[in-house]
Amino acid sequence: MTTTTAVRTGLALRGVTLTYPDGESRLVALDNVELTVAPGEFTAVAGPSGSGKSSLLAVAATLQRPDSGQVLVDGVDAGTLSDRERTTLRRERLGIVFQQSNLLASLTAVEQLLVLESVRGRRPERARRRAEELLDSVGLAAAKQRRRPHQLSGGERQRVNIARALFGNPSVLLVDEPTSALDHERGAQVVELLADITRTHNTATVMVTHDRDLLTRTDRTLEMHDGRLTPR
Ligand code: ADP
Ligand code: MG
């Protein structure tokens, strides 16, 4: 199956419930969650630690299968796909910025993006140009594009993470606590960047955060409490 022809319609979660084993019983991490995010829409999910935000992103990213409910990416129901098809869906349609930065210590910023290219088989010069343009567009100057992670600040590393998530031209962009390691001003700049990206790349963007001060640039904010998602 190829998903490349599917129209961009964004992300939809329908009645999604996720539980984890918890001693004799089960812990409900996501409780009948409904969420629709259209292309070009920047949605924030705010909630305290342990409320289920990362679980929500893991399910939306098709990395975690829900106990029940549906996850639709551009209208494709992830639950109906084989493992391989789901991997393809992720690669072609999802951009994920994890809470823990997983940049490779030995690679420069440009190489962090290009390492994905080996899977995709695009022409090397074109791929490099695209990587440099994306890093430029997230505000990482040319000289810094040749630095390794330990030679970059936390905010700059976060920008590399975001550029990397954009490299595959995703339809849905999922971002977990992008500001947690940053001071307020740098955090606000990253949120601003995500708002701009959502417009220019027309992504259906979901950012989760426990930092409510940073939500001025979002189109919509939802609250997560004990696995339940409610309007703010
Ligand atoms: P948040 O990102 O909002 O801090 P999480 O989604 O990480 O919340 O966690 C939601 C709840 O699920 C928490 O009570 C957490 O302890 C629990 N949890 C998360 N991951 C697992 C797991 N792999 N196994 C068991 N419980 C988990
Ligand atoms: Mg979390």
Tell whether the model's pLDDT for residue 1 goes beyond 60: no
d(CA 207, CA 221): 9
Per residue in 131-178, pLDDT (tens digit) is 999 999 999 999 999 999 999 999 999 999 999 999 999 999 999 999
Q: How confident is the model at residue 96 (pLDDT cuts 50, 70, 90)?
A: very high
pLDDT at residue 119 tops 70: no
From residue 170, alpha-carbon distances to 72, 95, 114 in Å are 14, 5, 16
For ligand 1, say whether the CB of 20 is within 6 Å of any of its atoms: yes
Query: Is it the case that residue 118 has pLDDT exceeding 70?
Result: no
CA of 28 to the centre of ligand 1 (A): 9
Q: Which domains does the chain have, with CATH numbers?
A: 11-231 (3.40.50.300)
Region 174-185: what's the mean pLDDT? 92
Give Cβ neighbours of residue 140 (< 8 Å, ≥ 6 apart): 109, 156, 159, 160, 163
Residue nearest to atom 22 of ligand 1 (CA): 20
CB 130 within 8 Å of CB 76: no
Q: Mean of the per-residue pLDDT values for the chain? A: 93
144 lines ligand 1 (CB under 6 A): no
**Ligand 1 neighbourhood includes 209 CB (under 6 angstroms):** no
Sheet bearing 42-46, strands edge to edge: 94-97, 172-176, 204-209, 42-46, 220-225, 228-231
49 CA from centroid of ligand 2 (Å): 7
State yes or no: pLDDT of 190 exceeds 80. yes
The closest residue, in CA terms, to atom 7 on ligand 1 is: 54
Name the residue with the closest Cα to ligand 1, atom 16: 50
Token pair, residue 141, equals 């100057």
Q: What is the pLDDT of residue 5?
A: 58
Residues counted in the chain: 232
- Residues with Cβ within 8 Å of residue 123, at least 6 apart in sequence: none
Of the ranges 99-108, 116-125, 163-172, 212-221, which one carries the lowest mean pLDDT score? 116-125
For the record, the structure tokens of 144 come out as 């810094």
The model's pLDDT over 36-84, given as tens digits with 9 standing for 90+, comes to: 999 999 999 999 999 999 999 999 999 999 999 999 999 999 999 999 9
The label of the residue with tokens 């990253």 reads: 190
Pick from 45, 54, 223 the residue to mutate for probing ligand 1's pocket: most ligand atoms within 8 Å of its CB. 54
Verify whether ligand 1 is closer than 6 Å to residue 49 (CB atom): yes
CA 9 to chain centroid: 16
pLDDT at 112 over 90: yes
Residue closest by Cα to atom 13 of ligand 1: 50
First to last CA, the chain: 39
